[in-house]
Structure 1
Amino acid sequence: MMNNQGRRDVVTIALITAICLFGDSMLYVVLPIHWRDGGLTSLFEVGLLLSVNRFVRLPLNPFVTWLYQRISLRTGMAIAIVIAGITTAGYGLGKGFVAWLICRCLWGASWSLLRLGSYFSIVNSSTSVNRGYLMGMYNGLYRLGSLIGMLVGSFAVEKFGMRNVSLLFALLTVVAIPLVFRSSSSNTILNNQQRTPTLLGGIAENWKDKSWLLMLGSGMLLAYIYQGVLASTLSLTIQQNLPEGFLLLGVTIEASSLAGFLQALRWGWEPFVAPRIGFLSDGPRGRMPYFLISLVLAAILFWFIPSPLPRLLWFGVLLFVQLTATLLTTLMDAIASDMASARSNMGTMSTYSFLVDFGAALGPFLAFQLGDSLAYHGASLLLVILAVCWYKIRPQKKTL
């Protein structure tokens, strides 16, 4: 395992990321319901705003990779925190599509600094025997920010309004600044001698490596399904299935609050489940058996989300979908990190992050155009295709 200081650095980076996520995570369950409060005029604008921060990251990721060859992780994280605070305050102060568009673009820059800096740090600090565990620990801890943003944010907006909650989350972002100085990662994250090929250059160089190409495609499609389709449409899907809300102990729970609760359950168990699945995948069986089982299970569950099931069974489907999100995200990140480490350069992680952002950006936009049923059934078929493709190359890649 890595030394204690290195492990503390991963924890610190994860907590910084979590705090910066408060505002962004809140939007995914609140904005599809309360879009008029922000001065928006249609759900089309909602889908575009929930996607644009990811589209912005596409050209930014190569630049951020280059930047981290010249500045320290500490500096990059500090810049990201400042931007995150400004954008979260903007969700409360801004009105109209243009103001929201500027805020979401700025958040895309903040997330590029946070996510790529974290990837590079973990890959450089880990080995094949602890990489899955550390990636799982990072994913589990930083998603505590999504837990607070979705659960607390969704309930608070119902009581206090989006403006007040956004300003509170922006104020809390200041707490992340002292954490930056607790990290010992004051040197550059990337060695300047490490090659960082462009997206097209990396694909041209590795186009014969089926597992490398499949890894990139899988990361993109899983991000499209979970970060895009599921995260952006769940509150609307619940509202359509339960327009009167859900009565619990005499209290009616609105769709956005219920969606926040269901999605927040995932972030609550991730600090425990993600490191565990990462640890198991570091073992002699490798990552592939767990990955294949998770893909098949997810495909079955997504197919039934739009189905007219009994209420409790439908909730059970949604809960297990969130579990597969934890499993597949952790395992996919670990597989990508394995391939980046094997090539001794960060170009693989930069390309992987680029395509993950592309897939996540397409999710909200396409989901609101296709409709819930087609989007969820399409996701199910994509998961089946991924499972078949990985099963076919599995004998050639026993280390995965």
Structure 2
Amino acid sequence: MRATRPRAVVAAVIACTFFVGFGGGVVFPILPNLGAVLGISSFMVGLILSANRFVRLVANAPAGALVDRIGTRKPFIAGLAIEGVATLGYNVAIEAAAPEAWFLLARVAWGLGSALVFATAYTITADVSEAKSRGTSMGFVRAGITFGFPAGLVLGGVVSDLYSVPVAFSVAAAFALVASGLAYAIVPETHATEAKSSVKPWEIDRSVPALTAGLVNFGLYFSYVGVLFSTLVVFLGERGIAVFGYTAQGTSGFLMAGTVLAGSVFMLVGGSLSDRVGARVPIVLAFLVAACAGFLVLSMAGSAAGLLAGCLLIGAGQGGVGGPLLALLADLTPGDRMGRATGTNNVLGDVGGGLGPLVGLPAVEAFGFVPVYAACAVLPLAAGVVLLVGVYSHTGSLNPQVDDAPAD
């Protein structure tokens, strides 16, 4: 497979994951207001918006095992198609007698599709990339996945205002279905030439590299997606900080967008740096320190400039970790186990992102923002320790070189 246009395959994966991400974001600016019109309770709106993540918690590991069992091509195409059909389901929900049930069903289906897409996208990239360029490739694919969601947010808000809600949903679905067609036309089988019946659908990769990468992912998602995103608007309100005359809600939106943008940019930077340096661990550690510094700055911030600096550091830190961490996982994992390893990594990341709000909001009420954000600053450092222990126990070196990665 390595001789079959690897750059074209990676480019197709990036485009597909970017386009399909629209369906994940398009519903967020629409459903809260639409829920009131359709008579959907605020609790049910929240459940609908979170349903895909809950589904992924269950589906990530089986999706990874499926990839190792039957290969990447069919699950990748199927996952993209499922997400496209699920996005069309939003339009069915609008006209249905029980819209909340149809929206929930569509989001559940979207979660299943995204579990397949996430497991296959990273595995395909690991399969077709050489060790010396794997960090860059992983960074680009992760950035494509990340950019798709905010692009969907913009699409949902702008197109629904200019045209209508059904048009916004239809456009997002069309992009997802085009992505499925693109994958069918370009992306070959990269992982398995024949089905492996010995790989069970429920098998979870508990190897040291998978658990190490997954625990680092857990810490970052817990503090960044979980605690920061769920508490930032309350923090702004308490400190009385605003920009451009917006309320705390509007200001938090700008700051969250800044963290996402910084994260996306540094996903590319981190992966490329790890390739140039020829080692993943120092780059991951450097960006973990950046995330730590960001939370410390945020905890002490008393102005909009301080808040922006803290959020940008946090975004850069979590983004910069992504590419080299996934490349390190691929370097240390046998090719025929990469699907399951990716599944473990995704499960632990989603668990962290889901637990963060459950722990963060009550902790802020009980202890205040400074102790909670200071604790979040410790998490990246703890993740760095986990990384060093895991890498050393598996390789006998604290800093394995890219050139030492086994050839697939």
Paired AA for residue 128 in structure 2: S
Distance 1:387 1:270, change over 3 A: closer
**Deviation (angstroms), 1:112:** 0.9
Could you tell me which residue of structure 1 aligns to residue 281 of structure 2?
288
Per-residue deviation, 1:115: 0.6
1:141-178 Cα offsets, whole Å, 9 max, x none, are 33331241234445666777866644442344333243
* Equivalent residue pairs, number: 388
2:223 corresponds in structure 1 to 225
Picking from 374, 377, 381, the partner of 1:380 is 377
> Are positions 1:108 and 2:132 aligned together?
no
Give structure 2 stretches of 5+ with no counterpart: 402-408
Of 321, 326, 332, 2:325 maps to 332
Identity %: 22
TM-score between the two structures when normalised by the length of structure 1: 0.78
> TM-score normalised to the size of structure 2?
0.77
In the TM superposition, 1:129-144 aligns within 5 A as 129-144=132-147
- State how far apart, in whole Å, the 2-side matches of 1:166 and 1:305 are: 36
- Partner in structure 1 of residue 341 of structure 2: 348
Q: CA RMSD in A?
A: 4.0
Contact kept? 2:330, 2:338, Cα under 8 Å? no
State the distance in 2 between where 1:15 and 1:393 align: 33
Instruction: Check 1:393–1:189 CA distance in 2 against 1; reply closer, same or farther (3 A cut).
Output: closer
Q: Residue by residue, what CA displacement relative to the aligned partner does 1:182-210 show, whole Å, maximum 9, x if unpaired?
A: 3141466576459747877643xx4xx5x
1:56 maps to: 55
1:274 counterpart (267, 279, 290): 267
1:116 aligns to what SS in structure 2? Answer: helix
Q: Secondary structure at the match of 1:130?
A: helix
Q: Distance in 2 between matches of 1:159 and 1:38?
A: 21
- What amino acid does structure 1 have at the position aligned with 2:399? K
Gaps of 5+ in 1: none
1:11 aligned partner, one-letter code: A
Q: Is 2:68–2:340's contact at 8 Å kept on the other side of the alignment?
A: no
User: Is the counterpart of residue 301 in structure 1 residue 281 in structure 2?
Assistant: no
List aligned pairs for 1:1-400, cutoff 5 A.
Answer: 5-26=5-26, 36=36, 39-42=39-42, 48-68=47-67, 73-91=72-90, 93-94=93-94, 97-154=100-157, 165-186=168-189, 189=192, 192-193=195-196, 196=199, 202-203=205-206, 206=207, 209=208, 213-231=211-229, 234=232, 236-237=233-234, 240=237, 246-247=243-244, 259=252, 261-265=254-258, 273-284=266-277, 286-305=279-298, 309-341=302-334, 346-367=339-360, 369-371=362-364, 373=369, 376-391=373-388, 396-399=397-400
Structure 2 counterpart of 1:136, one-letter code: G
SS at the partner of 1:83?
Answer: helix
Q: Quickly say closer, same or farther: Cα 1:302–1:198, change in 2 above 3 A.
A: farther
Contact 2:14 2:144 in 1 (8 A): yes
Take 1:162 and 1:241, find their aligned partners in 2: how far apart are those partners? 35
Alpha-carbon displacement from aligned partner over 1:345-377 (angstroms, at most 9, x marks no partner): 543223222322322333344445555837644
SS at match of 2:381: helix
Deviations 1:60-102 (A, max 9, x none): 2343234435656443333223322333344564576544432
Change (3 A) 1:231 1:351: same
